[in-house]
């Protein structure tokens, strides 16, 4: 960890002066309430969060608790804090063990029990939990802000251009928001990025989006391949954010192959390695079934890569076959809670497994007649029943008629 210090790690202190916070809530319980003064938060990203304040009250203080949580979390952490004679409190939270997502917001407040046995609650204070280990620079255009610490001004401008081009590309089939802010953080290497995500409690490779936070993290080093990487990674992760914003809570019920397929489709450079991966897997008969890519992608790197390649090709095929409206019906169908196989039937009239074999046939040139026959089997069976039952009925009727004719003879 010492190398971080050499890079000039700073502990950023966010001073939150009480003056900017409405005071009325502090005296919510009438006379004898508490006041919180000089509340400060010092974030040492991934290590500690130190809360400090001065609690002022007209009555002696029995006990003070600090309460805090991520603004999007349900669980509130509660810590009893020691109060000095002058009302000062301080608490250091171990952020290496109990992690918050990077670039999320944390809210905290105090509860004080006074000599009158009443508990008073202070107003909540929100602060950003940012990765403060790097000397971030930033530039903004419209609602997009790019943050980076390696590379010159032109690097930041190129990143903004990539974001703009990505928005333009996805605008055809994802409603894009130009008002709600998006923050793109560009790490200069993959290990800085992975390190950050692990500090946020998540391990991942490549880019990452926290769509609910409007935050995108990518790893791109300044250099000759910077524009290609920026124009691949930024549009992909931005697509996740825009999809989340247009689908809301329905985003969570989308199959992984659909979300990743759409996001991969807006990458501005087609990945030549994807085509090769598909070719090899098709030849070796090791393609993954899309039914198995609904809940999540495989954990191992090789199959995860193949899953991205397949999803991009598959969603492109769906878009070319059923159009942008078909793609929209598909996200609506999954958003309405249809299961993976039937969501496709509901939206496109074809179950997922059958779409899968049609894709293999028309895009990868596989002979899927066997698969098609298997898919058709239930229909053939139904046809037999539909045709055979009336025939039996007819035969039976004839027999009865003959029998009656004989009886009347
Ligand atoms: Zn993705």
The per-residue DSSP string of 117-177 comes to: S-EEEPPPEEEEE--TTS--EEEEETTEEEEESSS-HHHHHHHHHHHHHHHHHHTTTSPPP
Distance 131 CA to ligand 1 centre (A): 22
Tell me the C-alpha distance between 110 and 124, whole Å. 8
The alpha carbon of 30 and the centre of ligand 1 are apart by a number of angstroms equal to: 52
**Domain 2-129, CATH number (from 2.60.40.10, 3.40.50.720, 3.40.50.300, 1.10.40.50):** 2.60.40.10
Q: How far is the CA of 225 from the centre of ligand 1 (A)?
A: 21
Q: Output the CA 256–ligand 1 centroid distance in Å.
A: 9
- 15 CA distance to ligand 1 middle (Å): 36
Ligand 1 centre from 80 Cα, in Å?
41
Alpha carbon of 239 to ligand 1 centroid (Å)? 8
Q: How far is the CA of 259 from the centre of ligand 1 (A)?
A: 7
101: nearest Cα among 133, 69, 124, 145: 69
Q: 207 CA distance to ligand 1 centroid (A)?
A: 8
Rounded to the nearest angstrom, the distance between the alpha carbon of 264 and the centre of ligand 1 is 7
Q: Distance, CA 134 to ligand 1 centroid (Å)?
A: 25
DSSP string for residues in 270-303: --HHHHHHHHHHHHTT-PPPGGGGSS---SSHHH
Look-up of token digits 């549009």: 235
> Ligand 1 centre and the CA of 127: distance in Å?
28
- For residue 30, what are its two tokens? 């009438």
The pocket of ion ligand 1, defined by CB under 5 A, consists of 260, 263
pLDDT values of the chain reduced to their tens digit, one per residue, 409 residues: 222 222 222 333 333 333 233 333 333 343 447 889 999 999 999 899 999 999 999 899 999 999 999 998 889 999 999 999 999 999 999 988 778 889 999 999 999 999 999 999 999 999 999 998 999 999 999 999 999 999 999 999 999 999 999 999 999 888 888 899 999 999 999 888 888 877 665 555 678 899 999 999 999 999 999 999 999 999 999 999 999 999 999 999 999 999 999 999 999 988 889 999 999 999 999 999 999 999 999 888 889 999 999 999 999 999 999 999 999 999 999 999 999 999 999 999 999 999 999 999 999 998 866 555 555 666 656 666 666 666 656 666 666 666 666 555 5
Helix axes 272-283, 301-335, angle to 10 degrees: 100
250 Cα–ligand 1 center, Å: 17
CA of 263 to the centre of ligand 1 (A): 6
The CATH number assigned to the domain with range 134-253 reads 3.40.30.160
- 167 CA from centroid of ligand 1 (Å): 15
């Amino acid at each position: 960890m010492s190398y971080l210090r050499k890079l000039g790690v700073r502990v950023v202190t966010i001073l939150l002066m009480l003056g900017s916070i409405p005071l009325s809530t502090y005296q919510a319980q009438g006379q004898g309430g508490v006041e919180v003064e000089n509340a400060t938060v010092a974030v040492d990203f991934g290590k500690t969060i130190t809360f400090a304040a001065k609690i002022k009250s007209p009555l002696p203080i029995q006990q003070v608790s600090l309460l805090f949580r991520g603004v999007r979390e349900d669980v509130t952490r509660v810590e009893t804090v020691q109060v000095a004679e002058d009302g000062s409190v301080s608490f250091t939270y171990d952020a290496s063990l109990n992690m918050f997502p990077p670039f999320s917001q944390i809210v905290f407040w105090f509860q004080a029990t006074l000599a009158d046995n009443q508990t008073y609650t202070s107003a909540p204070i929100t602060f950003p939990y940012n990765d403060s280990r790097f000397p971030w620079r930033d530039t903004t255009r419209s609602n997009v802000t790019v943050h980076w610490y390696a590379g010159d001004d032109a690097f930041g401008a190129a990143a903004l251009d990539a974001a703009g081009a990505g928005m333009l590309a996805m605008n055809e089939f994802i409603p894009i928001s130009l008002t709600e802010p998006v923050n793109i953080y560009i790490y200069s290497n993959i290990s800085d990025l992975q390190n950050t995500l692990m500090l946020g409690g998540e391990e991942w490779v490549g880019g990452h989006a926290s769509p609910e936070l409007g935050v995108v993290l990518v790893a791109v080093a300044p250099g000759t391949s910077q524009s290609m990487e920026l124009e691949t990674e930024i549009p992909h992760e931005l697509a996740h954010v825009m999809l989340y914003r247009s689908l809301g809570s329905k985003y969570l019920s989308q199959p992984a192959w659909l979300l990743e397929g759409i996001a991969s489709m807006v990458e501005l450079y087609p990945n030549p390695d994807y085509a090769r991966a598909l070719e090899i897997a098709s030849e070796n008969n090791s393609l993954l079934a899309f039914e198995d890519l609904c809940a999540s992608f495989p954990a191992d790197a090789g199959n995860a890569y193949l899953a991205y390649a397949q999803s991009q090709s598959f969603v492109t095929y769906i878009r070319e076959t059923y159009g942008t409206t078909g793609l929209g019906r598909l996200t609506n169908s999954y958003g309405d809670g249809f299961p993976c196989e039937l969501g496709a039937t509901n939206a496109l009239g074809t179950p997922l497994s059958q779409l899968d074999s049609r894709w293999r046939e028309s895009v990868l040139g596989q002979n899927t007649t066997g698969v098609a026959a298997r898919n058709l089997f239930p229909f053939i069976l139904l046809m037999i029943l539909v045709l055979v039952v009336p025939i039996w009925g007819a035969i039976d009727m004839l027999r009865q008629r003959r029998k009656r004719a004989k009886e009347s003879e």
